[in-house]
Structure 1
Amino acid sequence: MIANHKSEIPVVILLLPFLLGTGVGINFNLAIYLVPLAIGFASLLILFLLLNFYYNRFKVYKKRWLGGVLIHLLLLLAGWIAVINNNELNGTGHFSKQPAQRLIVRINTEPQLKNGLIRFTATVIANINQNQAVPTTGTLLIAIKDSVAIKLTYGDELLIPGKYSPIDPPFNPAEFNYKKYLAHQNVYYQEFLYPGQYRLVQSNTGNPFISQALSLRRQMVQRLKQQLRDPNAIAVASTLILGYKADLSDDVLQAYSKTGTIHVLSVSGAHVAIIWALLAFILSFLDRWRHGRLIRAVIIIPVIWYYAMLTGFSPAVCRAAVMISTVIIGKTYNRYINNLNILAISAFILLLYNPLLITDVGFQLSYLAVAGLVILQPVVYAWFTFKNQWIDKLWVLCSVSVAAQVITFPLSAFYFHQFPVYFLFSNLFIVIPTAVIMYSGIFYLLLPQIPYISACLAWLLEKTILLMNYVLAWVEHLPFASISKIWLTTTEYLLLYAIIICVFYFLYDKRAWLLRTGLILMLLFTFSIGVKRYRSYNTNSIAFLNLRKNSGIVFKNGNRAIVISNLADTDKNYNYSIRPYLDSCKVSDVALYQPDQEIRSAFLQKQDNFIQFRNQSISIINNGDIDTTSTIKQKTDYLYITGNPKIPLAIINKNHEYHTIIIDATNTPKTIQLIVDQARYLHANYVVLKRNKSFIAASN
């Protein structure tokens, strides 16, 4: 299954403690740990060397396990130290360590236009104070609202104000943690710029190889646009062949995601393998020469890595490039290397370069998928035997899809909260179209413009993409095409992996204890899901959400919810901040109302600006309220201030008797500060939502 003996996969065994060390380092990555860790590493290394030099004197052969323990501890500490060293905030020269009037930054990624903003990351190379430049390090996320900025490219140096700010954490429950995502890329600060706030200082100062590759990619994207007419076809071709994703529409992404074929839109090992197969076929004549294999390897390996650079050095492409390079070298010198060892070697190389790659979802899914193919595919393939060679070949493809989907399901469900039901059909269908797209696209881009031939290749490329998009969109809209709202805890997805290991190991080894263990783990998993669902169905709550420029309150009553917000359910902010919370709460029945609508339901009534939800009530104060005093005080639990009203809190207190003031994010900073000052003076409880987490109140 994996290997007959662990000696066949030594690199895999050694990789495990290193991975554990990087995992520990990600959670404990402060610079204060570096010195004691370095001392510990040096001490263990000296001890290991002494034991090897005086092997017989200390009779180490009687304690063979000692050397293994020391090696594993050294690798664990090495992984931990690598993460700390990789953390840019631990550097004394990080730009955030000292204030700056202006910054000089160098663009280190290709700028992309999205939602009217030009976004890119940049290396801060100097802080400027009083016209004195001090060299610095660190990465800054920059967004520019200026149409002229579309001309900026990789390697350009800019002079910008030193008015950066920390990345915001997620403010609402179940919201995507963009702050954590960027932190794993060593990005901790961001800056928004408008016309006139930046100046181009110098161009083309980046790595010349990367600059040339990105320039070539832009030229190739433009060439695709010359003869392809459909925007979606151009976007898919650019993504699938060149790794350029800026033009992909949300509809296309959703179709591929819900059918379990999203991996096609990420240039990965399969794409690199197609390039390798094409080059190997073209250069096969070199095998007749004495040093033909070596010459072929010298040609293919640089081309593979140039393609990896051209497509943006994604983790999946880097993994494939390292693996294929290792395989080519092994075949050149007639060496056999276990596939799992090759996989582990590529992981070691990439993690030594950047240990934070382990946090990348693409990295995790890519390595899991390949490991699943190596380990599980033979087990799945052995389930059925077919004498017909064509049916057998079809079953091989099915076993590959099943193995990859099974091994990646817990992790993809943990991250993306859905499962594509028809993944087998979708993945079988795209095999031929993907190959046609890759080969026709490559020949179209590499060959010079030849009348009729270039037009035929472009026509074949576009029609194949449109056919693939059409079929996947059809599959997406089939009944029960995907199971959504899957929200797993870390414990639950680890239990799923333990169940998968036990079940497949049992099918391979037929040991009864594996089946019993798998059944016990499945019982624990089911129990955890059941308890979580029971708690959700028996919990009622009010969630005052932080939607920045928008208002939003969610009233959850078991598996039903009423949302009061000025957002439509098709708005991207609704899908980003509100829908994940509803899905994580297992809400199946959602009603959305505008703030000015009247509501009458079994558990909530709203009339004018007063809301009664079960045993709790809310009074809404907005910019439509006037500065008057009522003869009757309205008793309420929460006073919800929204829309930037201009009424003093002293007047509000004459009309309302409440327990807590909720100040939402639609109010201006000036209004919020005014209300907070008055609340403190009057000793009133208050909650400010702006730049703070949402406030959830139980109501059982």
Structure 2
Amino acid sequence: MKGINTTILILLAGLLTGILCESYLPISHKALLIFLSGILVLYTTVHFILKLRRGQHPITGILAFLLFMFLGVTVTQFNDPLKKTNHYTQVTSANSSQHLILTIVEELKPGFYDAKYIARLNQTDSIFTTGLVLLNITKDSTVQRSKLKVDDRIYVNQKLEKLTPARNPYQFDYAAYLNGKNIYAQITTSSKDLVNLKKQVKTLKGYAAKSRSHLQQKINSYSFNKDSRAVLNALLLGQRQELSSDLQESYSNVGVIHILAVSGLHVGILMLLVQFLLKPLGNFKTSRILRCILVIAIIWAFALFTGSSPSVLRAATMFSFIQLGLLLGQRQASLNAIIISAFLLILINPGLIYEVGFQLSYAAVFFIIWLYPKFEMLWEPKNKILKYYWQLIVVSIAAQIGVLPLSLYYFHQFPGLFLVANMIILPVLGILLIFGIVILILAGLNMLPAHVASAYDFLLTLLNTVIRYLAQFDSFLITNIYFSITLVFIGYAIIFSFGNLINKISYTRICIFLITLIALPTGILVLRKQQSNSSLYVLHQYNTSLLAKQDSSKKLIFYLPENKNISKSIVRNFKENQFINSIQNKPLKNFYLANTKKILRIDSLGVYDIPGLKPDYIILSQSPRINLDRLIHQFPEVKIIADGSNYKSYVMRWEATCRKKKIPFHNTYEMGFYKIE
């Protein structure tokens, strides 16, 4: 790929390597800064000597890579909030109520029983602290209180609670997701226990949230359909709280969920629109500079106004560099813009590389820019309408290819109707955005005619109707696809080798492409072999016992009471993450064998004195009334597991006994499932 800045590629590779390796390098801040300074001095010296001799040497590239690798380790450590001495995890206790002062940072989609916010913890008792927490405010119909806004400062006397981990295998781990956003605790309270503090500091994000709220109130005064209003808020204001679950699922199943998240697509359309409006400025040097400044300013104002989500900030950064590249007349400005924007964003926030949205957005844009020219040249229709739709098809296919391995890994499904849906939606999306921006401006100025609002409501209702209609063809939605991280790397190897083969057919490139194709079934066979060991899962199911056993023949057996049913999500998660040939349900037993491990299950009957039996694990279920001291005395080497069918008071007593006797104890209420191999 000619025109790519190889220097920034080397620096980005070094930065990524350092971020990924940071957890394996237990180096103190002081030692890290010494290493970084030493490599910087060495690199500067070597570079200066080579410049005097007008020579080049690979050592400079190696030193630059090492320099930015240690820079990656450094920024990762310094961005880790848990390593700050004033972080609330370092100075607070999770066992008692405390006087807490918080600032609202973001409003989340409410749950069925509570409103949810992300808040910054400013003070604990008399100690000034930092760090983000999840704030849950239980809904109470008897208390009428206005909802909290961004930048609101509140006081509450509550305790910090641990985040609940995933309780069953392959379940979405909300606690891990929040940890990725630097949230490590939650507070649950009610509206009547909150005290709003008058002294507040307004931020740009707060002013933007206030403006969005004002516009939402204006829009609510018109007779928009509920789903239309929800799509309008998502499409133009970046607020998805009002989207119903079934509508969101319909957009996801047909492969166009991305239009409901303000991202690169929306910013790109806005950029093209502004460029078109500023075209009368001409093509003089001063005009180009002015146009570039105006476009970048409008892009960032839009990013701030729509909530400053990570996706829109990434897009704003990327398109800003594209504008600068075009202004400077650089070749491959788009690809260089992607690389530079990714470099800067990761340098500011190293944790971005673990975010699904970051990975998907950059993969989509990169492969559109890389594959689009290769696919477009395969056919050049003369008709303008055919050419337009051909370009849409090519863009959709290039983006889908780019995100396919990651999508299969994270979501385990493939929307077969993505091409049809994109051909219908993308041509009108620009119209919906432009029309919507006009609607918001007129509503904000109290100049929006009712018939204009009704026309936009009709368009959004028609859009939702089409999406729901396409979502009915569920036979085109391929689900429960097993795809591991190993297959992700193999998948991208196939895509890159195929792209190079299209660019230039040669014997070497054909061989590389065939090798990557062969690697796919080989990798699947190796993964199947790795999953051949027998495993027993003690799952967490509220008020009942549930076990799952996977044997070497890839048969999955669920053990549960005869009058109970298994959650469909549990079955689906196993199918998506394991090679499963068949699934069976069987009644619970009191003895299990997983490889050489012996597992005894003690139920409400409390029977465990079986001659000759020396279990490795004991599962306590259905709140058996046993003398745990006597049980431990009889089996001193055993590990004890308490499932979700037990009374919590029993579990707490058992845990205290095991802690006193130094016996390993696992509580599925707090620690989730347990896997025995």
- The letter of the residue matching 2:240 is K
Range with bigger deviation, 423-432 or 336-345 = 336-345
Instruction: Tell me the equivalent position of 2:354.
Output: 359
Q: Deviations over 1:515-566 (max 9, x none)?
A: 2223223222212223444666x66654221245665333556445446378
Instruction: Tell me the equivalent position of 1:104.
Output: 101
User: Alignment partner for residue 80 of structure 1, among 73, 83, 91?
Assistant: 73
1:18, distance to aligned residue in structure 2 (A): 2.0
- The letter of the residue matching 1:126 is Q
Conserved? CA contact 1:554–1:561, under 8 Å: yes
Give the direction of change, closer, same or farther, for the CA distance of 1:124–1:535 in structure 2 (3 Å limit): closer
1:243 aligns with 2:222: no
Cα separation, 1, equivalents of 2:316 and 2:660: 65
Aligned residues: 661
User: Alignment partner for residue 155 of structure 1, among 151, 162, 176?
Assistant: 151
- The letter of the residue matching 1:315 is P
Give the direction of change, closer, same or farther, for the CA distance of 1:154–1:676 in structure 2 (3 Å limit): closer
Instruction: Tell me the equivalent position of 2:635.
Output: none
Instruction: Tell me the equivalent position of 1:39.
Output: 34
Q: Mapping of 1:431-450 within 5 angstroms?
A: 431-448=426-443
Q: Deviations over 1:339-397 (max 9, x none)?
A: 11111222223223222222211111111111101111111223334343432322211
Instruction: Tell me the equivalent position of 1:176.
Output: 172
Cα separation, 2, equivalents of 1:239 and 1:507: 38
SS of 1:44's partner is helix
1:488 aligns with 2:483: yes
SS of 1:480's partner is helix
User: Alignment partner for residue 388 of structure 1, among 359, 364, 383?
Assistant: 383
The runs of 5 or more residues in structure 1 that have no matched partner are 593-603, 654-658
Instruction: Tell me the equivalent position of 2:416.
Output: 421
Conserved? CA contact 1:433–1:468, under 8 Å: no
Cα separation, 2, equivalents of 1:621 and 1:433: 61
Calculate percent identity across the aligned residue pairs: 26
SS of 2:184's partner is strand
Cα separation, 1, equivalents of 2:527 and 2:332: 46
SS of 1:189's partner is strand
SS of 1:151's partner is coil
1:271, distance to aligned residue in structure 2 (A): 0.8
- The letter of the residue matching 2:91 is Q
1:212, distance to aligned residue in structure 2 (A): 1.3
Q: Mapping of 1:546-561 within 5 angstroms?
A: 546-547=540-541, 551-556=545-550, 558-561=554-557
SS of 2:106's partner is coil
Cα separation, 2, equivalents of 1:304 and 1:78: 30
Q: What is the root-mean-square deviation of aligned Cα atoms in Å?
A: 3.8
Give the direction of change, closer, same or farther, for the CA distance of 1:669–1:328 in structure 2 (3 Å limit): same
Cα separation, 2, equivalents of 1:562 and 1:87: 41
Instruction: Tell me the equivalent position of 1:199.
Output: 195
Q: Mapping of 1:55-134 within 5 angstroms?
A: 55=50, 59=53, 61-99=54-92, 101-110=98-107, 112-128=109-125, 133-134=126-127
Cα separation, 2, equivalents of 1:649 and 1:49: 67
1:437, distance to aligned residue in structure 2 (A): 2.1
Q: Mapping of 1:251-266 within 5 angstroms?
A: 251-266=246-261
Cα separation, 1, equivalents of 2:333 and 2:560: 58
User: Alignment partner for residue 15 of structure 1, among 12, 15, 36?
Assistant: 12
Conserved? CA contact 2:19–2:72, under 8 Å: yes
Give the direction of change, closer, same or farther, for the CA distance of 1:185–1:639 in structure 2 (3 Å limit): closer
SS of 1:222's partner is helix
Give the direction of change, closer, same or farther, for the CA distance of 1:419–1:675 in structure 2 (3 Å limit): same
Cα separation, 2, equivalents of 1:534 and 1:55: 52
Q: Deviations over 1:228-275 (max 9, x none)?
A: 443222212211111101111221222222222121111111211222
Instruction: Tell me the equivalent position of 1:468.
Output: 463
Range with bigger deviation, 667-676 or 242-251 = 667-676
Give the direction of change, closer, same or farther, for the CA distance of 1:99–1:318 in structure 2 (3 Å limit): closer
Q: Mapping of 1:663-678 within 5 angstroms?
A: 663-675=642-654
- The letter of the residue matching 1:667 is N
1:137 aligns with 2:130: yes
Give the direction of change, closer, same or farther, for the CA distance of 1:459–1:386 in structure 2 (3 Å limit): same
Please report the TM-score for the alignment, with normalisation by the length of structure 1. 0.83
SS of 2:297's partner is helix
The runs of 5 or more residues in structure 2 that have no matched partner are 633-637
1:185 aligns with 2:181: yes
Cα separation, 1, equivalents of 2:478 and 2:75: 39
1:88, distance to aligned residue in structure 2 (A): 0.9
Range with bigger deviation, 145-154 or 264-273 = 145-154
1:177, distance to aligned residue in structure 2 (A): 3.1
User: Alignment partner for residue 371 of structure 1, among 366, 371, 379?
Assistant: 366
Give the direction of change, closer, same or farther, for the CA distance of 1:98–1:149 in structure 2 (3 Å limit): farther
SS of 1:525's partner is helix
User: Alignment partner for residue 579 of structure 1, among 547, 572, 582?
Assistant: 572
Instruction: Tell me the equivalent position of 2:673.
Output: 694
Please report the TM-score for the alignment, with normalisation by the length of structure 2. 0.86
SS of 2:365's partner is helix
1:51 aligns with 2:46: yes
1:68, distance to aligned residue in structure 2 (A): 2.1
1:67, distance to aligned residue in structure 2 (A): 2.1
Instruction: Tell me the equivalent position of 1:514.
Output: 509
Instruction: Tell me the equivalent position of 1:497.
Output: 492
